[in-house]
Structure 1
Amino acid sequence: MPLTVLQVEKAKPKEKNYKLTDEKGMFLLVTKAGGKYWRLKYRYDGKEKALAIGTYPDLSLKDAREIRDEARNKIAKGIDPSAEKQARKKASTLAAENSFESVALEWYQVRMSDKSDTHQTRTKSMLKTYLFPYIGRKPVHEITPMMMLDVLRKVEDKGIIETARRVKQTASQVFRYAVVTERAPHDPTSDLRGALKTPKKGHYSALTEPKQVARLMLAIDCFDGTYVVQAALKCSALWFCRPGELRHLKWSEVNWADNRIEIIAEKTHQEHIIPLSRQSREILESLQPVTGDSQYVFASPKTRSRPISENAIRSALRSMGFTNEEMTAHGFRATARTLLDEVLNYRVEWIEQQLAHSVKDANGRAYNRTKHLPQRFEMMQRWADYLDELRAAAVAGNVITAQFG
């Protein structure tokens, strides 16, 4: 006789596993551990077989019978339900193994092992931040150029054009690895040539690779010009404010008590705060005996009533061997913008706020000057420490930084 719901519910474990027979080949297997498993006994191609239907109470008696009837219908049509189930499971496993994320992580293990720690960290962050959330679970061979363009447009929409280009390069390497390992027919990013926005160049040239910045920081340390210009170079890297804001900084705008600089941003004409890292404060304290008699922190050595000239930092960079196509005074902003995002993984809105850009919240309101201030204090100290780490790495590696005049 068919089982009843009550019989299934009341079935208790015994010293040995036992079966409660239902009908049409289905039975409930009750284990000595207390588990209850629905099974279907059937014959296929002359052999007796069993199909695992599910477990009770996750699968009720009624639901188990529906699955049983579907399986019997397949048997009548010449389909082995057990073999079909195994094939589906294998296909699902294969799809997971061939997902973009799975292939990317395999590529990372194979191709990134000989790269620097910084390069490995930046690449892993790029995958997790910009690629995995959108195409990570998709089979790598099903990803189209339009899918990739949609992903890259999301990066561009954040205003990080250079990062979008790097994301495309990283994705391309993963796809080419998939092609070589016969899991994808082609690299869909190859069809996107010319589709991305072009980063601004010229006056905004900047060094954005950690090794390049390491050489720059070491070159600044070895700069043989005036102490005031050297300090201005160091603070340009530490504060990444606009060149005019740095040149015209006044001692009255240094808030020693609150450990910060308070100025009016050139472009937005809004109040702006620059948190002072330990390194920044040490530079300012060392400058006081030198320029403390002027209103300007970076006073001109010729006329104390004026700040250093507009060309002071540019000329210093040229004298250290960095061309106008490599680095500019304004380029320190792009350097910080790129590395804070791609290497140190700080939130874009914190970085934009510290750059004194016109940042708005979800309701379209401009953030006030103190927005994310505690986080920005921590970020600016970490940035200063990171620049020290790069400088130390350049020294340890005996890096030749520039042609000194």
Structure 2
Amino acid sequence: MGKLTALAIKSAAPGKLFDGGGLFLLVRQSGSRLWRMKYRFAGKELLLSFGAYPEVSLAEARQRRDEARALLREGVDPSQARRARKVAARVGAAESFRAIADEWLARQKDALAPVTRAKAQWLLGLLAPIHAMPIAAIAAPDVLAALRRIESAGTIETAHRARQKASQVFRYAVATGRAMRDPTADLRGALAPVVATSHAAITDPSKVAELLRALDGYIGQPTTAAALKLSALLFVRPGELRAMEWAEVDLDAHEWRIPASRMKMREGHVVPLATQAVAILRAIQPLTGSRRYVFPSLRTPDRPMSENTITAALRRLGYDGDTMTAHGFRAMASTRLNEMGWSPDVIERQLAHAERNKVRAVYNRAMYLKERIRMMQAWADYLDALRSGSNVVPMRAAR
């Protein structure tokens, strides 16, 4: 073996140049040079391709020949072994973490709100080091290494959330027979703990009054000014407010019905509109009433306002992220309404927080709507009194 040289290969005429051990170089009339190996298996003469020269060098071709001969000594057909590796690679790609994650996400289309699904997709995208790995072969250290990359960027909470999403994908793989277990279960305590922080919010009545007067004095786009005021009156999630559609609003009935597809908990939600809220909406109806969104984007009217619009407006009014946030209007309302004596169940239902007991959830929706209507009007009146500086005696819920 080892008859060929680089010089002989370069000057070779069309034909076959044998190196030994079945390896030869096929030189075609076109000038292309192809590595082949002739061998016998189960009484048949077969041919194995190793690629083209010079992409595959003489040394590499010899190495591949030696590997093939080693398989033959073990009674394995190298051609069949190659086909098996290709099949395994295709199966591995089909059952990689990324492929299973995409499959799981596709099945969440009706279960998750679009924004929640997009966030899940983003979190899973951060786990790039395990994307191409067969999901059944992924161990806890592999997942931890991927999470450490996120953690090292200082985004500890994001690392924990990525772990939670990965766990959901692994559990789905277990349920569908593509994995034996969820390796993230072994990572409890492996990541740095999350230091709990809440959304900054103003809850002191005197400070709330100052905030309301600041909102009234906002100089900017009329739709942004209206969104700021409705944030205080309705205390829905910022994403729900900015995507508010005119088709969801019934000003005569004084209610806004948010469809389940837009809610975090995937349940339709009714927001009673106090007379003050209806007045604000009627005021901007001539501006945006002909469009889909109550608060359309200034750049692209067929899309809602940016998620940063309310936050940026608060900053312009002098409220930084440690003082007040767009989400803080929810905490502000929850705190004040609880102190005003309203039922926590009614408040929680208006905040659209999930009720774990499904039977009780149905009961609550039917039972609390009248109380919520009364509470929302009382809340709007309370804010008016605070804004005007009146001696506020808040309307309390009947006991």
Q: Which has the higher contact order (CA 8 A, sep 6+)?
A: 1
